[in-house]
Each structure stands twice: as C-alpha cells, then as structure tokens.
Structure 1
Amino acid sequence: MTSDKPRVLIVAEHASAKFGGEAALPLHYFRVLRKRQIEAWLVVHERTRDELQLYFGDDFDRIFFVPDTIMHRLLWRIGQFLPQRLAYFTIWFPLRLLTQFVQRRLVKQIVQSHQITVVHQPIPVSPKEPSLIFDVGAPVIIGPMNGDMNYPPDFQWMQSRLVYLTLNAGRFLSNWLNWLIPGKRRAAILLVANTRTRAALPNGTCSDVVKLHENGVDLSVWQPKPEKPTQATRRPPNEPSSQSTKFIFVGRLVHWKAVNLLLTAFAQVAQHWPVELEIIGDGPESISLQQQAKALGLLSLHKSQSGDQTKSDPVEPYSSVRFLGWLSQADCAQRLQQSDVMVLPSMLECGGAVILESMAMGVPVIATNWGGPSDYLNESCGILIEPRSQQSFVNDLAAAMIQMAASPALRRSMGQMARHRVMSHFDWDVKVDAILDIYRDVLKATLPTRPLISPENTGSAISRV
C-alpha cells in the first residue's frame, strides 16, 4: 500500500441527489472516487438506502447504513413543527449526534476490517457543529465546511427574534461543545470553503486549515444549453425584442430565498418586455407565492394541489410566471437548457449548487451579492445584486433582468464564460483531484507550507488559510 493509493471511508449523515443541498456532497465524493478505482466506502443513515442502491449498483456493497431508530423518527417529526432553520440547530442537532454516535462505532470496525487510511466527513458543513468522528483508527478530515451565515444588515427583519436568539446562543455555546466533543480538535485537517467560515471555527480546533470550494458540478449531467439563433448586437433599452426571454428559479420555496422579491421585480420587467419566469421547487411559501403572482396578473399554467390536473389563469402571451413544483434532476437540467437566465435572489445562501449547475450549462446567473453566490460568480459570467434595502434590491434586480433581456449577445458571452469558469474550478473531477492531494498530504504527515493563493488566479482548487 502506498500513499498514492489511499483507502477512503466517507462518513455522512446522509447521501442523496434528491435531498439537494449538502446531502449531495458525500454522494459525489464516493461516486468520483469509485469511478477512478480508488478504494472507497461510505457510511450513511439508511433513509437513503433505496436511492443509493439504484445509483451505485455494483458498488452498493461498499455502503454501510445506520438504522433508522424510533428516536430518529421522533426527533424528525418534532422538528417538522418548527421553522426549518430553528429545527436544524435545535431538535435536529441531537438527531445528527445520534447518527454519528452509532457511526463512530461502525467506522472503527470498518477502518480495521478494510485497512482504511483516511476517514473523510464532508457534512454537516456547519463550522460550529461538533463532530463525534474522532479516534477511529485513521486520520480524519472534516469539510469543506461553509457557514456562519447571517442575513444582510438591511434584511435582518426576515429572521424571527426566536430564531435569532437561538442561533446566537448556539454559536456562543459552540466553543464549549467542541471542547466536550473533540472531533474538530483531533482532526488531521479541517477544510473550509471561504475565509468567513475559517473565522467561524470554534476556539481550539485543529490549526491545519485548507481552503476548498464546498460544491462541485457533475458535468455529465449538466450539459451546455443548445445554441439558438440570436441577434449579435445589444438592443436599445427602450426597444424590446419580439422574442421572449426566459428566466428560471430553482430552489426550495422558503422565505429566505426571497422569491417574493423576484416576483415583484419580474412584474416591473413584464410591463415593458416579453419575458417568462419558471419557478421550480416546492416548500411552505408555495401557495402564498402563487397568490402573489396571481395578484400581479402573472400566473400562468400550473399544477393543482392534487397534482393530477392543471388550470390556467388569463395572462399576456409572454409575460407570465409558471410554478412547476418539484422536478427530478433530469427534468431540472432539461428546463435549464431551455432557459436564458437563472435568477437566485436568496438572502441566506451559504453555497448555491444551482448556480454552478446553471453556469455549467452556459446559462448566465443573476444572484444576491451575499454568501455563496459571491464565491462563485464574477462580472464575466453573471450579475450580483447588492442587498442594500428591499426597494433598491427589487429595482436593481429588475434592471439586471432588463439588461439580460435586452442583449442576447451579453447572455451568450456570459454563458460561455460561466461554463469555462465551472470547468476550471468547480468540476467534480477537478475537486477530487484536490481532495486526493489532501488525502496524500495527510498520509505523508508532512504538510508543506503553502501561501494563501486565490484559486481563481492559479487554477488550483485548494489553498491553506
């Protein structure tokens, strides 16, 4: 056995393409490692057993599952009665610790029986949350973590007082919890997505910290959008094109995604431009957002609550909003291919994998200049909107949409640069190249000092912070 051939155990709460968000990270690490014939195994909760069996086929015997106990189910159901963010940091926190408690015993057995040389815990991505994966017989790598997010200063009103106080209490207690549960103190390396997350690590954690982007893109799924005839020159602002511009939003319909502000901005654009907006996703805000779109006179064909019928409200032929509900990954990819611009007005986005997926397809992005989107986008491949106030945000968002609608050439140029940026920095194969280097560094146990270098300037996916 050599350091060039690590034997890797991925440990995570769950691994799923259907869950979205951080749940996809362990799935992709395991997928790409196995594609490269790296000896790798996966330990997750059994709630995703059926999905993983279909996804991995011949490698399914390399996956170990933590059973779904009565306590797991009870804590999950109690959390359903709370706001999602509050539930995550309160009721669901002991749920995750319960899973890790069972995993730790199982990990020790797998490390011994399969001669594991590196244990990697990619989620949870919170920098404050303690880890029970320590002293398991092999060096442990945790991350990339990405968190410590707050709402922009002028949007603090979007968070209830109860959630605010609970989050701050949890952050205050994190130093004590990470002393009591020493996973992040005893880790070989901690991975962080950005300097914000580096600063959020509790006191006394492992001092060897490496910067690595949290999200990646599977380029085999997110293919470039087909070329279509467009005018090469920018149309004057007051001269709309006869061809409709299609905008798209993909994500959970929760209040921090700010889809209500997107609808308000879209209504401004629709007064003067032939535009369409497709909203993909479901969530607690779904009904109120459809009511808002209807009040604005924009609601188009959409599914009924029963899911087996459709109804149509009278709208203009182009200026319309369609709510498509939850779609599979393949269907989302198809809808993105048929779109001109992706819009993500979220006020609390630590990552934003959907931005990278859109960029991979050559679709330019309009997003909030806050959190994850500002890590992924630059002026060459999208437009970032400053969250200064609600009214200015709506106006600036509308102006950005008009700018995109007015210039097919701009959309095409930004789309090409977006795909190039993803291929250079966010392709899962590029990311696994970086993680393999980290695994080898850990195994060599002599980590050379590297300066903090921006990956955008060097093409490297990692840097030490």
Structure 2
Amino acid sequence: MTGHGSGDLRERPRVLVIAEAANPEWVSVPLVGWSLATALRDVADVHIVTQVRNREAFLRAGEVEGESFTAIDSEALARPMWKLGEALRMGQGKGWTMMQAVAALSYPHFERLVWKTFGADLEAGRFDVVHRVTPLSPTAPSPLAAKCAGVGVPFVMGPLNGGVPWPKGFDAERRREKEWLSYLRGAYKALPGRRATLRHASAIITGSRHTASEVPDAFAEKCVYIPENGIDPARFSLVADPQGDVLRACFVGRMVPYKGPDMLLEAALPLLKAGRMRIEMIGDGPMLPGLKAFAEAEGVAGQIGFHGWLAHERVQEVMAGCHLLSFPSVREFGGGVVLEAMALGVVPMIVDYAGPGELVDARLGIKVAIGTRAEIVEGFGAALRRAAESPQALCRMSAAGRDEIAARFTWARKAEQVREVYDWVLGRSEKPAPFG
C-alpha cells in the first residue's frame, strides 16, 4: 500500500509514516504531523498511519483509506487516558507537561496496533523505511523501533522537540500554567523503553538544538538537526505592506503568562501613549480580560486591536499590515509563528531563548536577551523605540526573512531534507550536513 507522489528521479523509498497526531483542520502538533507526512509524498512513496480521530479530516482532504492512509483505532486506551490527562492538568490549555506524560503512557498501545496491522508487510520487505513523525515529544517510547530493527527495516524518528527548561525568574508563570510536573521532567530519561528506542532507531531527527543536547552521547551520531516547523506557502501567501508613519506590531498566540503579552504591552506603553505605535493582539486566553483592562486604564485602548481567536486566513491578513511580530515568549519549543511572520515579511522581535532564538539571527530579526521579567520588558522597550524611529529600516530584514523561508522552511524543502536522512539510513549517501 503506497500513496501518490511526483517529481523525484532518484529511486523513491517506500516509507510507512507513523503520524498518530496528524490533522489538516487543527493547529500545533497535528498540523505539523499532517504537513510533514503529506509533503514527504514529493520525495517518497508514502503510506500514512494515523489515529482514528483524524480519519474524517483525512477523508475530507481527499485521502483514500486503505490506499494513501490507514486509521488505527486505539480509542479503548487513548480516550480514557486523554480524559485522565484533562482532569490532571487542572485547566483548559494548562498543564502541558502532564498531558504529555499521560500521552507517553498510552502511546505504545497505538504502535502495538500498528505492528499488528503492518508487521507482515514489514517482514515481507514492502517498505524500505518506517518514519515516526509524531509524537514530537522525546518522552514517548517506541516499541516499533525494536520490531523494525528485528526485521531489518530502518526506523527514523522525529522531529523530536520539547523539554526546554523554564528560564530562571519565571516560577510564578510556571505555577500559573499548572506546570507542576515540569519540575520532575528530567525523570523521563529513566523511563522504560527510552534507551531501547534510541538504540534501535537508525536516525533521530531533532527539532531543536536543546533536544539534541538531551540525547545520550552513545546515540549522538544518529542525530540530524532539522527544525520542527515549516510553512505552507498557500496558507501564508501575502506580503507585508504596513501603512502609515507609526510602528505597527502584532502579537500572535495564546494569552497566557509565559508568552508574555503583558510584557509586550508594558514595554510598548510609552510609544502607545505617544501615538507612535499600534499593536494588533491576535489570540485568546485567560489573560485577555486583564490585558484589555490594562489598555483602558492606561488610556491606550485606541492604539491596540484585540482580535481574539482568528482563522488562519484572517491571521495572515492582520499580520501583513504590521512591521513587526513582537513576541516576548520565554518558552517556545518550535516557534512556528516566527516562521509564519517571516514568510509574510513581518520582522520577528523575540526573546533569545529556545525555538525562536534558534530560528532568528541578526539578518532576519531582532533578538532581546533572556533575563528576568523586568529585564525583558526593558529590552523590548528599547528595541521597540529603535524600530519606531525608523520603521523603514526593517525592510532589509523583511526581505531576508522571506528569502530564508523560501530557501529552507517550506514543507517541500523540509521533505527534501528528510529525504537526505532516508538515503543515509538506506546506505545510499553520507550523513546529511548539519542544518544551519
């Protein structure tokens, strides 16, 4: 069973892509899973295996069950474990580490069902590679890795991402996010099956340099760094064209403490009061009422657009009217919104930490040093003042960002990068050169 594909004159590997979370109608991890899994069809003959909750979305997207994809019904364990995780996380959108821990406990059941369905095909040599695209979390062990090693089929996993430590000075935000389990997160390295998974994997794609640093030295040679996120040019097709003489910035994300929307408003307050800046706030979350109240109390509500949640197409429309993505988040694993901004020619202004810090350099955007809350507010304030003095000076970074996305960060380019990994594990080429 293989999927459709086109274009590559090299011998196309036959790849069984495991994407338990893959859904074109959702965001975050499921959208990454869907985007990479389907993009791989440009470079390989791909059959996607996903969880049954994604089945209807696959069918609506034109996938053919049994030909281009298979939906595995692991609900007997997945559903009660999901409900347990929801109860333990103590609030919608909170306790992400707890949800990941519960998912890691239930996920191996899904892979056992995958082997039950495809084991005979793998033993018969009908696939050249098995690639586990999701879960992205490095905490989820993979029983399939050993099974594939036993039948001589290379097992590729990744991009893996996560585990970024909370920066010092943000314990209050950590507690407000109900991230109690994150204090013990390092314990996942001792989980049964983790070391066996790494030992049996042929290649480990790491989505961040931090995640790569957590892979034991014994397996470091298996690692290939490819950033997790990518861009669909059809979803982000506009070109930024901010109007007027004032600096226009946007914030895109959940209105939660670690993403720092309050830090942005505090940093921008002098410019907002002087009428030299406007901010578009895109997203919803528990902090939104307080942010609106702050804007009213400070007399700057007219300088801030609170858009709430917006559909993807509306997000790019609002972003394209801005010079800057002002995004003082202190704990981003991948930083997909940074790539989305760059795709539009909106210059990212970010905290130099974790995912965004790996994606942005001096050619592409503005980095503010990680520090205490007060230090980040001060750093963003100074950077915004410099930008407001000459918004047109951002044009060079705007063009460089669009070029960078086209060259390295579309999903088609990601698929080509992963194809190099396939060729390596199949003995057809040398190990891919480091990304960067």
Where on the TM-score scale, by shorter chain, does this alignment land: which range? 0.7 to 0.9
Tell me by how many angstroms 1:227 deviates.
4.5
Determine whether 1:406 maps to 2:412. no
2:85 — aligned with what?
79
1:169 — aligned with what?
184
Aligned residue type for 2:32: L
TM-score, length-scaled by structure 2 = 0.86
Aligned residue type for 2:80: L
2:6 — aligned with what?
none
Determine whether 1:391 maps to 2:374. yes
Aligned residue type for 2:321: Q
Relative distance call for 1:130 and 1:66 in structure 2 (3 A) is same
Relative distance call for 1:332 and 1:103 in structure 2 (3 A) is farther
Matches of 2:293 and 2:23, distance apart in 1: 32
**More off after superposition, 110-119 vs 346-355:** 110-119
1:418 — aligned with what?
401
Secondary structure of the corresponding residue to residue 307 of structure 2: strand
Aligned residue type for 1:72: A
Matches of 1:156 and 1:274, distance apart in 2: 34
Matches of 2:222 and 2:111, distance apart in 1: 23
Match of 1:63 among 66, 69, 74: 69
Matches of 2:289 and 2:256, distance apart in 1: 11
Secondary structure of the corresponding residue to residue 122 of structure 1: strand
Match of 1:243 among 223, 242, 245: 245
Tell me by how many angstroms 1:336 deviates.
1.9
Tell me by how many angstroms 1:275 deviates.
2.4
**More off after superposition, 251-260 vs 288-297:** 288-297
Relative distance call for 1:104 and 1:25 in structure 2 (3 A) is farther
Matches of 1:45 and 1:289, distance apart in 2: 38
2:15 — aligned with what?
8
Matches of 1:110 and 1:329, distance apart in 2: 39
Tell me by how many angstroms 1:394 deviates.
0.9
Matches of 2:52 and 2:286, distance apart in 1: 26
Relative distance call for 1:125 and 1:33 in structure 2 (3 A) is closer
Check whether the contact 1:3–1:443 (CA below 8 A) recurs between aligned residues: no
Relative distance call for 1:340 and 1:170 in structure 2 (3 A) is closer
**Structure 1: which 5+ residue stretches go unaligned?**
230-241, 300-314, 457-465
Give runs of aligned pairs for residues 442-461 of structure 1, distance below 5 A.
442-444=425-427, 448=430, 453=434, 455-456=435-436
1:259 — aligned with what?
261
Give runs of aligned pairs for residues 176-187 of structure 1, distance below 5 A.
176-178=191-193, 182-187=196-201
**Structure 2: which 5+ residue stretches go unaligned?**
1-8
Listed one character per residue, the Cα deviations across residues 307-366 of structure 1 (whole Å, up to 9, x for unaligned) are xxxxxxxx3xxx22x222222222222222222211221111011111111101111011
Relative distance call for 1:251 and 1:102 in structure 2 (3 A) is farther
1:106 — aligned with what?
117
TM-score, length-scaled by structure 1 = 0.81
Secondary structure of the corresponding residue to residue 326 of structure 2: strand
**More off after superposition, 156-165 vs 168-177:** 156-165
Check whether the contact 2:343–2:402 (CA below 8 A) recurs between aligned residues: yes
Matches of 1:228 and 1:339, distance apart in 2: 5
**More off after superposition, 403-412 vs 290-299:** 290-299
Give runs of aligned pairs for residues 286-435 of structure 1, distance below 5 A.
286-299=288-301, 315=302, 319-320=303-304, 322-435=305-418
Relative distance call for 1:346 and 1:104 in structure 2 (3 A) is farther
Aligned residue type for 1:280: I
1:311 — aligned with what?
none
Check whether the contact 2:98–2:181 (CA below 8 A) recurs between aligned residues: no
Tell me by how many angstroms 1:219 deviates.
2.1
Matches of 1:329 and 1:113, distance apart in 2: 43
Check whether the contact 2:424–2:431 (CA below 8 A) recurs between aligned residues: no
1:441 — aligned with what?
424
Check whether the contact 1:178–1:185 (CA below 8 A) recurs between aligned residues: no
Tell me by how many angstroms 1:202 deviates.
4.7
Tell me by how many angstroms 1:71 deviates.
3.7
Length, aligned pairs only? 420
Check whether the contact 1:127–1:201 (CA below 8 A) recurs between aligned residues: no
